[in-house]
Amino acid sequence: MKKLKFVFLSFIVVGSALAQDLSRLNPQQLEMYKKYMAGKSGQSTNTTATSPENENEYERVIEGDTLNKKQVKTKTITSTTTTTTTPLDQKKEKEELKVFGSYLFTNQNLTFEPKLNIPTPPKYVLGTNDELIIDISGLYEANYKLKVSPDGVVRIPNLGLVKVSGLTMDMASNTIKNKVSKIYMGVSSGETRVNVSLGSIRSIRVTVVGEAERPGTYTLPSLATAFNALYSCGGPNEIGTMRDIKVIRAGKVIAKLDVYRFLVDGLLGDNVALQDEDIIKIDPYKVRVYMDGAVKRKAIYEGLQGESLQNLLRYAGGFADNAYRDILTTYRYAGKEKVVIDVTAKQMNDFVLHTGDSVVISNTMLDKFKNRIDITGAVKRPGIYGFEPGLTVKQLIEKANGVSEDAYLKMAFITRRRENQLPEIMGFSLGDVITGKAQDVNLQKNDSVVIGKLSDYVEKQSVAILGAVKKPGIYSFVENMNVKDLIYLAKGFTELASTDSVELVRVIKDKDVLMNTNRKTTIEKFALDKDLNFVNGIGGDILQNGDQVIIRSISGYEGIRMVRVEGEVIHPGSYNIKNKAERISDVVKRAGGFTSYAYPTGAFLIRSESSNAIEQKLNKIMQENSKNQLETKTNKSLDATMLRQSGATSVQGYTAMDSIQKKLSGSSVVDKLFVQEGVVGLNLKDIIAHPGGKYDLKLEENDIIYIPRELQTVRVLGQVLFPTIVRYDSDMGLRGYISNSGGFSLNANRSKVFVLYPNGSAKSTESFLWMRFYPKVEPGARIVVPERAVEIKNKLTPAETVAILTSISSVVALMYSILKK
């Protein structure tokens, strides 16, 4: 029994250690551990095995190498050498290239369909189902349309059978004329004319075999050629040859098609006319070469056995303009290694390509010039010029049509590279060189002369104008600018400008004044009329850099401000606020007073967001402060209202307080809590009875005064079992209305129940010791039962729970063993 307990405790300790160790692994380490365990148990893992095809890809043996005869310089690259481009990289690059000519038989604009509306070819061989048209004219008139029978004959009326199958059109025409001359007089003398032509033609069956896109047997017109058949079958497939396509007739090769001759030279010499039962055979290619770099057509080219590099370069369109033509680099498979072969321009005619070769033509020249020099900056024609020995700065400036008017003449620079390519800068006085006061500077090739502009060396200067002008802002400072000029740039005064109080603010720049006094700026006041004339001749000072001009508005001006009176008044609608002291009683009086259905006790005022920029800024600061407080909240309770504002209906799915805080701290939640609109409860009876009293508020722009109709119901909201609307009863207290709504729910916060009255005011529940005093209920009121604050606890993950339990078990086992002893 003791051994069994020991084994059990050991298992718990080991399990605890394993659980703790695995809990420390990050996801990548855990994935590696799973793969390792899968391998140990014999399961297949996601490893890349080298297939025989991949092995053969890098172990091709090149036979018939003729390089020994040509004495071409060869550099061997072993499989262990680290190179810039790996075979895999080269393979990827090759896959991007397309086989030259592969587009030919898929091009919709090039169909290779046989032409049927052409004169009868004289060498056309007649066969079964061909139609002959025999037209006799002159002394006799006759016309016959005769089909060639399966026996190869046509039956001519009054003449009998004439064998024409296997004869060309010329031969058949002569035979028929000889037969016709026996019964029609004048044929030999020309008085009777006999014309034999081809009507409808027969169809032939041609078989395409080998590496075609769609091999098979095709029915074609008897005028079809080999290219017509290739187009019908889709041409060669990915491994099919385009250089050695065989046309087989009666077991013999009668023609070999080279598609490249058509693509490059435009020749169709081997495009023979097909006959019935001909076979077109497309073998796999034997030589393919990858041509990349500075050629006109980068592609994969097929070569014939023994074909030279010069020939394939011609198929590629020749060198590009920027090609380096002295040496071409060729990469070749050689067993388990690859070799790099440098082919010179003289060897291209004799260099024989092997399948799999990659020919790379590099770009020409490096980015260097033999005689380049440039000048930039404040010259009339900046740019690159040709360098000549003995060229000087003054001569280069003359080439550039001289310096511009805004050139900085005190200093210019030459950027030059030494022999070791390290840069150096040489400065010189441009003005002295141009005027001849200083010695001219000799230039070297690749020098760069930089002539600065005067504006580059002058501090940016500006003046500003603020206040009642049409375009206030910052303007560039110009010498001799005065206040009138600046106001003119700002498009003049606005209608509300107070031109008799213009201020000029200037920064003190005198060192003695700044050191000996606390003054930082000076202010000069003066007056102008609407025509920008200074009153009493005071003003007109020349502005300085950094000056600010302030134009103030007319004192006391306000735009038209409106309020609205809605509900049970005689004349509801919008009213203008006549003065700053206008109150609620004034506007209600102007609206004609109440109707007989009005409920003044339930009246309220809606005050929306202020258009005052200062108040808007203050509200924004309050939002940011609330957001910061929410993000730094440290206790574990949370207002249920805040939770609902976040869009959540419960705390399920949240594992920590910070996860909810992150969701609540979003700007949209804070904005919802800081809606820039509020309701103010009004006591209209007291306001009307005592105009101008403390309850008679002064009105603001966009205020809305609403006088409702008397209501006879009470609404119960929040955490009750059945939120509903209850008929108002003056004898019923708040608990009665809660009872009519099913009573409190489990989440109800009974001590925080409050009543929202029709006029927008609210009153909460008061408590003393264990007793609660609920507020009075009036018609149209709303009883709101809030929800308790939500307690958020950090939940443990299953791994953490197992680790804690196993640790406790280990401690218990250790204590048991100690006590046992």
What was the pLDDT predicted at 287? 92
Average pLDDT over residues 548-556: 87
What was the pLDDT predicted at 199? 80
Higher local confidence (pLDDT), 714 or 269: 714
**Local confidence band at 331 (pLDDT 50, 70, 90 cut-offs):** very high
Rounded to whole angstroms, the Cα distance separating 332 from 62 reads 9
Span of 141-155, 376-390, 435-449, 572-586 with lowest mean pLDDT: 141-155
Higher local confidence (pLDDT), 815 or 784: 784
What was the pLDDT predicted at 10? 43
**Local confidence band at 332 (pLDDT 50, 70, 90 cut-offs):** very high
**Local confidence band at 630 (pLDDT 50, 70, 90 cut-offs):** low
DSSP state of 532: S
Q: What's the angle, vertex CA 747, arms to CA 746 and CA 752, rounded to 5?
A: 120
In angstroms, how far is CA 593 from the centroid of its own chain? 64
**Local confidence band at 451 (pLDDT 50, 70, 90 cut-offs):** very high
Please, what is the end-to-end C-alpha distance for the chain in angstroms?
Answer: 16
Q: Rank 73-77, 133-137, 218-222, 381-385 by mean pLDDT and report only the highest.
A: 381-385
Q: Which helix (H) or strand (E) holds 172?
A: helix 169-180
Predicted confidence (pLDDT) per residue in 35-70, tens digit: 544 544 444 333 333 333 333 333 333 333 333 333
**Local confidence band at 814 (pLDDT 50, 70, 90 cut-offs):** confident
What was the pLDDT predicted at 575? 93
What was the pLDDT predicted at 32? 52
Average pLDDT over residues 573-597: 90
Q: Which amino acid does the sequence have at 410?
A: K
Rounded to whole angstroms, the Cα distance separating 221 from 231 reads 14
What was the pLDDT predicted at 645? 52
Average pLDDT over residues 233-257: 92
Query: Is the pLDDT at 25 greater than 70, yes or no?
Result: no
In angstroms, how far is CA 34 from the centroid of its own chain? 38
Span of 89-103, 223-237, 531-545 with lowest mean pLDDT: 89-103
What was the pLDDT predicted at 109? 57
Q: Among all chains, which residue has been given the structure tokens 């003119």?
A: 488
Mean pLDDT of the chain: 78
Bridge-based pairing of strands 153-156 and 383-386 is: unpaired
Predicted confidence (pLDDT) per residue in 76-121, tens digit: 333 333 333 444 344 444 457 888 888 887 766 555 555 555 666 7
Give the residues across from 606 on adjacent strands: 679, 704
Phi, psi of 385 (to 5 degrees): -130, 160
What was the pLDDT predicted at 200? 79
**Local confidence band at 365 (pLDDT 50, 70, 90 cut-offs):** low
CA pseudo-torsion sign 316, 319, 321, 327: positive
**Local confidence band at 273 (pLDDT 50, 70, 90 cut-offs):** confident
Predicted confidence (pLDDT) per residue in 476-506, tens digit: 988 888 888 898 899 988 888 888 878 889 9
Is there a contact between 78 and 337 (Cβ–Cβ < 8 Å)? yes
Rounded to whole angstroms, the Cα distance separating 505 from 493 reads 18
Predicted confidence (pLDDT) per residue in 749-805, tens digit: 888 899 988 877 788 888 887 788 888 888 888 899 998 876 555 556 778 788 888
**Predicted model pTM:** 0.43
Average pLDDT over residues 384-402: 91
What was the pLDDT predicted at 794? 55
Query: Is the pLDDT at 123 greater than 80, yes or no?
Result: no
Closest CA to 87 of 294, 361, 336: 336
